[in-house]
Chains A and B, each alone.
Chain A
């Protein structure tokens, strides 16, 4: 049995990191991940989000391991996670499905606000690798542990890449929104100007029509007798 642990700090707040975690794939650092599917998702009475997912990977198994274990074209793994927005923790646990009669790779990740800086996020990661019932099991454990470590580094790069992508999207969105707002204000002002001009013109027209009507009603030379005025 082999153990592996590691810690990493993201220079981003927890809220942003956990959003990125759900959008981690696809990314250029982990091209082997072929599919991810949600099997179940619920929120419990404490407001904790529980998710069950199945992931598949296309490669990443050294060929000599395949020679011993057989060569699956796809490796599946099972992941269960909890996001507690009150305590600000996101916990992910995964285990391989493929080869599970001989190999157990258990991974455990916890994202939480960094204890010394709430604007940062701490990732604590650990893995337990157990291989039994096949030759060279101890060596396979070491190799799998090395693979996990290398994948972890790629995973962190991937997270940072996704966070940048999300930031870009937000920037684009606010640029579009402010551009739209500017256009809207300009358009509204123009409309108001038009309306004002129209209204003014209408008022002028109305005044001249009213005056003309009044002139028509009133005889021009003498003061009007009561019967000449229309009854209102």
Chain B
């Protein structure tokens, strides 16, 4: 599985072939799901077939991996859903 190096250039040659997932262990699952989704989106969804279930199994495996990785990295997606600015959650300078 190709991994993104820490490239600083805009060179086409240094662009990795696949986008990484939030955690390396999810990369393969991500690729399998993305390939399934991209094919479904072009060949089915845009042509009127709205049944998403074709990629469901892959999506399940993939998102479970991602959500576990987020827990490990302490990323709480629900944090961003809340409005912080203008509420008591807004971080203020110590007075």
Which residues of A sit under 8 angstroms from B6, Cβ to Cβ?
58
**A35 touching B20, Cβ below 8 Å:** yes
Min Cβ gap A171→B in Å is 15
**B90 touching A22, Cβ below 8 Å:** no
CB < 8 Å: which of B22, B41, B51 contacts A22?
Answer: B41
Interface members, chain B 6-27 (any A CB < 8 Å): 6-12, 14-22, 26
Chain B residues touching A, majority SS: loop
What is the number of contacts between chain A and chain B, taking CB atoms within 8 Å? 113
Min Cβ gap B62→A in Å is 7
Interface members, chain A 1-58 (any B CB < 8 Å): 15, 18-19, 22-23, 25-29, 31, 33-43, 47, 49, 54, 56, 58
B1 proximal to A (CB < 8 A) = no
In the bound complex, what is the Cα–Cα distance between A105 and B58 (angstroms)? Answer: 32
Which residues of A sit under 8 angstroms from B51, Cβ to Cβ?
43
A211 proximal to B (CB < 8 A) = no
Known: A85-B45, A100-B84. A23 touches B8 (CB 8 A): no
Chain B: interface residue total (CB-CB under 8 A): 49
**A31 touching B15, Cβ below 8 Å:** yes
In the bound complex, what is the Cα–Cα distance between A49 and B42 (angstroms)? Answer: 13
Most A C-beta atoms less than 10 A away, residue of B16, B22, B26, B52: B22
Which residues of B sit under 8 angstroms from A18, Cβ to Cβ?
46
**B22 touching A19, Cβ below 8 Å:** no
In the bound complex, what is the Cα–Cα distance between A3 and B42 (angstroms)? Answer: 34
Known: A29-B10, A31-B8. A54 touches B59 (CB 8 A): no
**B59 touching A19, Cβ below 8 Å:** no
B70 proximal to A (CB < 8 A) = yes
Please give the residue numbers on chain B whose beta carbons come within 8 Å of chain A beta carbons, in ascending order: 4, 6-12, 14-22, 26, 30, 33, 37-38, 41-42, 45-46, 48, 50-52, 59, 62-63, 66-67, 70, 75, 77, 79-81, 84-86, 89-93
